[in-house]
Structure formats: structure tokens, C-alpha cells
Amino acid sequence: MSTHDSVTPGAPQQSDVSQLVVGVLGGTGDQGRGLAYRLAKAGQQVVIGSRTAERAEAAAAELGLGVRGADNATTARESDVVIVAVPWDGHAATLAGLREELAGKIVVDCVNPLGFDKQGAYALKPEEGSAAQQAAALLPDSRVTAAFHHLSAVLLQDESIAEIDTDVMVLGEDREATEIVQALAARIPGMRGIFAGRLRNAHQVESLVANLISVNRRYKAHAGLRITDV
């Protein structure tokens, strides 16, 4: 598999992403807030977005670390890399409304389409194949990647935890974009960004979160993933 083998373990560190502005759509939710906190703590410039600027500004003020808050459109315009951490049921509408603002940007989709019933969490399969593929269809002028799916929002937001012991699987069609996302992941202590294929393989990565939820419930844990021999 030449596409996989050509990405070396050192590739994330070779991209200098320190000056990039990272926007987080859904930055007032647990996952988005946690990612914003960890990236800002690592020295990244971060803007968190929400449907209303006031809500985003209030969340940014609570986080500190130089984090700014703005409405989603402003966040998209002012960022180089935009992480999509909105609820699945608002995914399509949010992105469709930001197509112009996200043109030319690296978009990192970390949304997991899940359903819940009395047996627990289960994976949903969008018509496009995955949330990331839906994003790519809605944002033809953006550089869409998929990453940050398997991170515990509890651990991300816990200020007493210095390192997050996990790997981040990164998928996408654009090699430069995936390497930039890998480098962003590597800025967070304890994390590595690992190239994991093209967007057509995003469904099973998103779906694995249902399994991790089951693991967490059984073992009262906040499980993550490690890729061995890489």
C-alpha cells in the first residue's frame, strides 16, 4: 500500500503549523470546547464558533488562553483550518450555509453519525457514506479531511491531565492537508496524527466511536486508540 507506506512517523512534525489559525465550529459543545482548549494550550491561535457570537464569546472567555469567540461564519472566514465539531443532526445545514466562507480552507470533520437506543450507541450511515464524505460533497471548494473522532471530551476538558494518550486517525484526499492535520494533532502532548486512508474509508473510523462508547460503559473508562508498529 504505497499511499500508506509513503507517510513516515515523522511526517507530522515536519509541517510547521504554529502560525495557523484554527477555527472550531461547534466550539461551545464538549468535543469542540475540549479541542479548542488543548490546541490553545499548545500555543495555537484558536477561534471558537457558535450560531451566535455572544455564546461563543462567553465560552472563549471561560477558556482563556487567548481563545476568541465569533459566530460560525466569522470563525470560518478568519481561520486557516476549521474543525467541524457540530452535532450530527445539524451537520449538513451548518456546512451548506458556510460553503463560501470555507472555500479554500482545510476542513477537519470530526463528527460521528450515531444513533442511540436501549441497547446503546450504534453507527448511522449517511447517504454519502460518512459525515466526512457529506462534508466533501457540500464543500467542493474546501480541502476536506477527517480526524479527531476518537477523543474523550471528558479527558480533553480535564485541566488536571497534561497528556492525552491516544493516536488520531487522519483521512483525506489532499496529502498536504492531511499532513497539516497530523501536525496539529501532534502539538497536543501525548497525541500522534496517523494517516489512515482516503475519505471513502471514513465511515468505519466514525463508526468505531460506537464501540468505544461500549468499552467506556463496561470499563468505566475514557478509552482511546493506539496504532502499533508505526
Q: Is the pTM of this model over 0.85?
A: yes
pLDDT at residue 70, as a whole number: 96
Classified as helix, coil or strand, 180 is: helix
Classified as helix, coil or strand, 115 is: strand
What is the mean pLDDT of each successive set of 10 residues along the chain, which is 230 residues long? 40 73 94 95 96 94 96 96 96 97 97 95 95 98 97 94 95 97 96 96 96 95 94
pLDDT at residue 148, as a whole number: 97
pLDDT at residue 72, as a whole number: 96
Cell, residue 27: 466550539
pLDDT at residue 14, as a whole number: 61
Q: Could you report the per-residue pLDDT of 38-58, keeping only the tens digit for each? A: 999 999 999 999 999 999 999
Q: What is the dihedral of CA 40, 135, 152, 178, to 10 degrees?
A: -60
Q: Are 22 and 44 in contact (CB under 8 A)?
A: yes
| DSSP per-residue letters across 33-51 | HHHHHHHHHTT-EEEEEES
Q: Could you report the per-residue pLDDT of 5-27, keeping only the tens digit for each? A: 334 444 434 689 989 999 999 98
